[in-house]
Amino acid sequence: MSLNLQQLAAALHLKFLGEADLTITGLASPKSAVRGDLCFIQHKNYLSDIAASRCSAVILPPDLSSEIDDKALLISDDPQYSFVQAIAALGFEQRPAAAGGIHPSAQIAESASLGPEVSIGGLSVIGENVEIGAGTSIGAGSVIEDSVRIGAHCLIHPRVTLGQGVTIGKRCILHSGVVVGSDGFGLVEHQQRWQKIPQLGSVVVEDDVEIGANTTIDRGALDDTIIEQGCKLDNQIQVAHNVRIGAHTAIAACVGIAGSATIGRHCKISGAAVVLGHLSVADNVRITAMSLVTKDIKQSGVYSSGTPLMENSLWHRANARYKSLDKLAQSVAGLEKTKE
């Protein structure tokens, strides 16, 4: 699909500078762009990339519009968001094609209820009393256990497992390898042996949630684990039992959230961070990569922990000094007493 500059500007509700009939046929980064492609930049640091690019048009903020005179311009207060809109306007959204109805190798219980235009991929298993909303696609090899409810227009990629009684809202995307509703890690030690605690809760995933490949979300012990609307979870995240993640929170890969933790709304948790169990994180909190959250975060803001990268020999010296901090603190305290 292609649009001319004027049509694209109208679709994106943006002002434009350049020839109205200039044809836009593709989207690319500045370095890989060819004639007819659209790019975007958000900062002046990337002006040199645009200057060297073969792209035909650029989405950029108003304060940079005077810096480029050899390409068509679309003026946006949020160029990245406008570029995402352009992807849809030009028909480049990558939603895999539906499986094409019900594959003959799929096993579907007689009590399952499938809405109109549902597609089920090969070798999928749909359990008893499952409800699947209109327009939802279930990828090949997925297992949807008994009494699961899936809303309309969801995209379940191949090899997803939804445990018994799980609820998935509307317009959700679950990537390959996702497991929702496995047992939480509930154990009690009795006479030096571990006794499994039955996990009687479930998982509720609300509308417009996306869950990345190989992410696992455990069912609650008694109450449900809840992922509120609009959350975006990256790959290989572990969400333990009875966790609640607030609406529109984004979590990067390899994060671990321990049991009964509560994450607020509109939070951003960077890769490989860990939140310990039974803690609460306020709304609008950003946790930087590899941080360890050991206590409640009660106010919005940016929080960090851990040791940043440094040259190896310097790290060894710093580590050795770290081990001496307690002795040093005692020495300083002794000197202060002497002064008194």
Domains and CATH numbers, the chain: 3-89 (3.40.1390.10), 107-303 (2.160.10.10)
pLDDT score of 306: 82
Are residues 163 and 203 in contact, defined by beta-carbon separation less than 8 angstroms?
yes
> 317-339 burial by CB neighbour count: b if 16+ within 10 A, else e?
eeeeeeeeeeeeeeeeeeeeeee
Spell out, as residue ranges, where the chain has pLDDT lower than 70: 94-100, 340
pLDDT score of 99: 52
| pLDDT tens, position by position, 145-158 | 999 999 999 999 99
| pLDDT tens, position by position, 90-105 | 998 766 555 569 999 9
Are residues 184 and 221 in contact, defined by beta-carbon separation less than 8 angstroms?
yes
pTM: 0.90
User: What percentage of residues in the chain have a pLDDT greater than 90?
Assistant: 89
Active site residue 241: yes
* Choice among 13, 175, 241, 316 that is catalytic: 241
pLDDT score of 46: 96
Are residues 132 and 119 in contact, defined by beta-carbon separation less than 8 angstroms?
no
pLDDT score of 98: 52
Q: How far apart are CA 198 and CA 193, in angstroms?
A: 16
